[in-house]
Amino acid sequence: MKVEDFAGNGPELRIERYFAGRTHAWGLFEDRFGTLRRSFTVVIDGHWDGRELTLDERFDYADGETDRRIWRIVRTGEGLYEGRADDVIGKAVGRSAGNALNWTYEMALKVGGGRWRVRFDDWMWLQPGDALINRANVYRWGVWIGTVSLFFLPEGRMIQPGAVNAAVPPPAAAE
C-alpha cells in the first residue's frame, strides 16, 4: 500500500486534531500463526501546542502488566510527521493522506525480561463516527512475527456504560 492511495478518502485524518484530548483504545497482538498472545487497553492523553503533539499512553494488559509511553510528534510538512519516544530507536516517520496514516519505526520492545529490536509498519484509517482502526505489522530481523490491531475512540464519542441494554431485544424488522 501507498499512503497516496487514500488521498481522496474521508474523513480526513489529522492526528494533531484527532488525538487532542483523551482517547481510549482496545488492542491485541496476534503472532504470525494467528495465535492471540496479548490483549490490552490504552488511555491516551493528547496535547497539541501548535507545534508538537504529545501523547501520554498508559497501557493495561490483560495479564496485569502495565506500561507507559510518551510520544512527541511534530508535523514537518503537509501530511508529514516525525515522532520520538523513549523506546523508539531513532525517529518514527509518518505520512498521511485522506483518512490514512502510515508510521514506520524501530522499537526496543520489552519481551519477558529482555528487549527485542523490532520494526513496525503501522497503518491507521479514520472511519465515520471518529473510530480509528490501526493495524501494525511487526518484524524482527526482517521476518514478520505478528500483527497489532487497535481500535481508538475519542472519549467524547464513546457509548456510555448503560446506554445500551443487551437484555432488551432490538425492535422487530418491518415486513
pLDDT of residue 162: 43
In a domain, 55, yes or no: yes
Find the domain containing 130 and state its range.
Answer: 11-157
pLDDT of residue 100: 98
DSSP secondary-structure letter at 32? T
H or E element that contains 17: helix 15-18
Which CATH number is 43's domain given?
2.40.128.20
- Asked if the model's pLDDT at residue 165 lies above 70, the reply is no
How do residues 36-81 score in pLDDT, each as one tens digit? 999 999 999 999 999 999 999 999 999 999 999 999 999 999 999 9
What domain count does the chain have?
A: 1
Written as nine digits, the cell of 34 is: 494467528
In a domain, 169, yes or no: no
In a domain, 44, yes or no: yes
d(CA 163, CA 93): 39
CB 149 within 8 A of CB 30: yes
In a domain, 167, yes or no: no
In a domain, 172, yes or no: no
In a domain, 115, yes or no: yes
In a domain, 31, yes or no: yes
- Rg over alpha carbons for the chain, rounded to the nearest Å, is 18
- Asked if the model's pLDDT at residue 146 lies above 70, the reply is yes
**Between 170 and 8, residue with greater pLDDT:** 8
How far does CA 164 lie from the centroid of its chain?
26
d(CA 10, CA 27): 23
How do residues 2-48 score in pLDDT, each as one tens digit? 999 999 999 999 999 999 999 999 999 999 999 999 999 999 999 99
**pTM of the predicted structure, to 2 decimals:** 0.86
In a domain, 170, yes or no: no
d(CA 158, CA 100): 21
